A and B are shown apart, each in its own frame.
Chain A
Amino acid sequence: MATAKDFSRLGDIEGVSRYILVRNDGYVVSENYEEAVALASAIVTSGKYCDSLSEDLDGRRYIYCCVERTSGDNVLVFSLGRYYLGIIKHADCDPQQLADTIIGFLKGLS
């Protein structure tokens, strides 16, 4: 069973600028971002919307969602059951590669 401390290693992954792990009720479990509490509800709601896309798209489950920014510091959202993980990536990092790294990290925790 992964603990909040395990997730703190997300901050060490190359390409991760900030991360925020939020429970589905908005409680911030782990983060390295000073605005985490303010961002929490947007991450949870985004994750819930993405979860519900499977109802609209023939049962397809989303893997992750990426909100693009002109700065390149894109925001990635992953669903982890009752939790949602938000990642703000470094501008110079490829989002697909980073997503693969994050997925590998999460699989390593389970």
Chain B
Amino acid sequence: MEYDSKLSDIIASLPEVVGGFLYAPDRGIYSNQTDGIANDNSLQQVSFKLTKIVSMISVHFQDTGGIRVSFRDLILFGTQIEHGHWLFLLHQPSLSAGMVKMTVQMALNIEVAEQPQTTIAETVVEPSAEVQPNQDIMAILLADESELREPLIRIQEELAQYIGPVAELVFKDSVEIWATNNTPSSENLPELISMMELEIDDEDDRNNFLDSLKSKEEE
């Protein structure tokens, strides 16, 4: 389905919708129709954060669908459309949630509310032949005989120093995404570290996290 044009149709059909964008974890932002409200890098960050939130909540509640973030003058609505792809709309608060949902549903010709709900981790990427299903990945990577066990534990411990008790949850989530997008190997660890880095808000802490991992790697 050509989501680009569908997104344009939605924006054109509702005057209160001021823009929208499309996101997939493996492609990033692939359609930015926000008319300068935000650039691709910013939207990439926004998408990453919001899809992570849904992913985390879905660990507790299996029927999560979309997400809505309310700002003073704007509402950001996101819904998972297919195979890990997300459609986001920016609209004025005067537009009702029901109208937005109905318009999206009609434009995409899908039963949004009745789609089988799955977690992000389950739908983001088709696992490659070498990669086990997500539920087994952590156990395999952290097995005693795994060459990645030591570096992964070190990364998790370092991360915990900066983001505290949520580190375990964030770490597990990130490793699962990393392992399904990459062949888990020492060579690909920088990709994982880059993902972890995004979890640390404070710039100094982020740099300390990276320096610390680098120095331990050199030891």
Contact = CB atoms under 8 A, between A and B. Distances in A.
A61 B38 CA distance: 15
Nearest to B66: A68
B69 A62 contact: yes
B71 A46 contact: no
Contacts of A95: 68, 97
B169 A42 contact: yes
Nearest to A25: B164
Given A65-B68, A66-B68, A46 B74 contact: no
Contacts of B56: 41-42, 45-46
Nearest to B53: A46
A39 to B, nearest CB: 5
A57 to B, nearest CB: 6
A41 B165 contact: yes
A52 B60 contact: no
B117 A25 contact: no
Nearest to B167: A41
Contacts of B59: 42
Interface of A: 24-26, 35, 38-39, 41-42, 44-46, 48-53, 55-58, 60-71, 73, 75, 77, 95-96, 99
Interface of B: 37-38, 42-43, 45-46, 49-50, 52-54, 56-57, 59-61, 63-74, 76, 97, 113-114, 117, 164-166, 168-170, 201
